[in-house]
Amino acid sequence: MADTGRQSMTDKAASSVKPDSQKSMTEEVGDKMKGMSDSVASTLQPQSEKSTTQKVGDTMSGNSNEGQESLMEKAKHATGMGDSETK
């Protein structure tokens, strides 16, 4: 089960199994949009807030931000709104 706002592993698998040559233009565009959206969501969501299943899925798809701050955390630090701890 995927975290809220994330593409499920079943959807990712179904999208990758069907060759692009057999997809309609609508399917191809939809897959790319979902993939980009999921990648952004992966980057925005701190690793510490991800479920175990989501961590595994992100690692397998290359969307892992293991050991890195989320973009939101980086923005907070850049504006001086984050905690004093730096990563």
Mean pLDDT of 25-32: 92
CA–CA dist 87, 67 (Å, integer): 9
Could you report the per-residue pLDDT of 38-59, keeping only the tens digit for each?
A: 888 888 888 888 888 888 887 7
Q: What is the pTM of this model?
A: 0.61
Q: Sign of the CA dihedral 26, 32, 38, 41? A: negative
- State percent of the chain over pLDDT 90: 10
DSSP letters along the chain, please? -PPTTS--HHHHHHHHHS-GGGS-HHHHHHHHHHHHHHHHHHHHS-GGGS-HHHHHHHHHHT---TTS--HHHHHHHHTT-S-S---
Residue 87 has pLDDT above 50, yes or no: no
Mean pLDDT of 7-15: 84
